Structure 1
Amino acid sequence: MGKTPVRLKEVSYSLSPIHQHAMRGLLKDFSYKSGKRIFDNWVSALFLLVPVYGSYWYSEHYREVEKLHHRD
């Protein structure tokens, strides 16, 4: 069976200049805005960060214990 050529269309997306300006404003002073939100809501930040860090620490500790257990 013969091969049939197929025409493809190229589609490209871009932001308008207005949207590009808005995106720049979102990233401006990102560290200040995120720090301010964490400082204003530090209790909520603790409830988010402590379980994440605790589970990471527990998994790393468990992996080290298993590594040392298999060396015997």
Structure 2
Amino acid sequence: MPFKIISSQCTGCSACEPLCPNVAISEKAGTFFIEAKKCTECLGYFDEPQCVAVCPVENTCVVDTTLPRYQGPA
């Protein structure tokens, strides 16, 4: 499942954006969001999702349970 950013909790600090290996994180109106189609949960790059690891606000970068888990390249 890709991750999502809870916009009401995002402080706009931008710590997550440069660390995303898939360039899935963007800013809009002062808060950041994750493009689900690009999010691979950092599989193959890092042991843990980098957005979760660097976000200063706990439980702001969370798994989007409404979408299927990343399956890797076909």
Question: What TM-score do you get using the length of structure 1 for normalisation?
Answer: 0.17
Find the structure with the greater CA-based Rg: 1
Structure with the higher helix share, 1 or 2: 1
Question: What TM-score do you get using the length of structure 2 for normalisation?
Answer: 0.17
Higher relative contact order (CA 8 A, sep 6+): 2
